[in-house]
Structure 1
Amino acid sequence: MPYAVVAHYRCEPDDAGLVRDALLKMREHTLREPGNLAYVVHADADADGAFTLYEQYVDRAAFDAHAASAHFAEHILATVRPKLTERTVWFGEVLG
């Protein structure tokens, strides 16, 4: 069953460019993963430094492989997360 992730990130406006660039680099890598179905990065139109990610994988194992990848460590763990002031993540199974 497909597995989805919705992540909401917020950072200081001064860090928004760095976070945006890292998320877009992450998208390039993730879209090449064999188990990835979607990776969409949204920037909040009304709040500088607020981002929402929508990700979809063929199953939970594909997401786990994504989270264990070198590009996740580089772009998310080492670059994005240290700049975040707020982070919420929702996980769910895609119905239908």
Structure 2
Amino acid sequence: MSDGFALVVRFTLRDESAAAKFDELCARTLPGIKAKEPGTLAYVTHTPEGEPLVRVFYELYADRAAFDAHETQPHTKNFLAERDQYLSGVEVSFLDMNAGKVAEGQ
């Protein structure tokens, strides 16, 4: 496997209502990612302990082209168009791989 292409995105949500709606948006988006993006190796959302208004996404793609393909998908475009109404902030960090373990066959 290549080193892949990875990023971490930290979303800060406006309030509890916005958090619930953001989570619903994520739930509607995920089936498209699972079904239509073979180059998306991991796409995982997290809520950090003690931070109920924060969501952290970890995304790992086979390569930059797979990330670019993800960005062009209708489900991703819909997510990007809808998400801002729920947010008070967003931080994106692109990652360079130093070392690690990936699942077999990846």
TM superposition score normalised by structure 1: 0.87
Rg larger in structure: 2
Question: 3-state DSSP class of the match of 2:51?
Answer: coil
**Equivalent residue pairs, number:** 95
Offset from partner CA, 1:7-49 (integer Å, 9 cap, x none): 0001112200010111232222222311110011101331222
In structure 2, stretches of 5+ residues that fail to align are 100-106
Question: Residues of 1 paired with 2:49 and 2:23: CA distance?
Answer: 13
Are the counterparts in 2 of residues 29 and 71 from structure 1 also a CA contact under 8 Å?
yes
Residue 3 of structure 1 corresponds to: 5
Identity of aligned residues (%): 29
Could you say what the CA RMSD is over the residues aligned between the two structures, in angstroms? 1.5
Kindly report which structure 2 residues correspond to 1:1-96, keeping only aligned pairs within 5 A, or say none.
Answer: 1=2, 2-13=4-15, 14-32=17-35, 33-75=37-79, 77-96=80-99
More strand by share: 1
Q: Which runs of 4+ in 1 moved over 4 A?
A: none
Offset from partner CA, 1:43-75 (integer Å, 9 cap, x none): 133122210000100001100110111111112
In structure 1, stretches of 5+ residues that fail to align are none
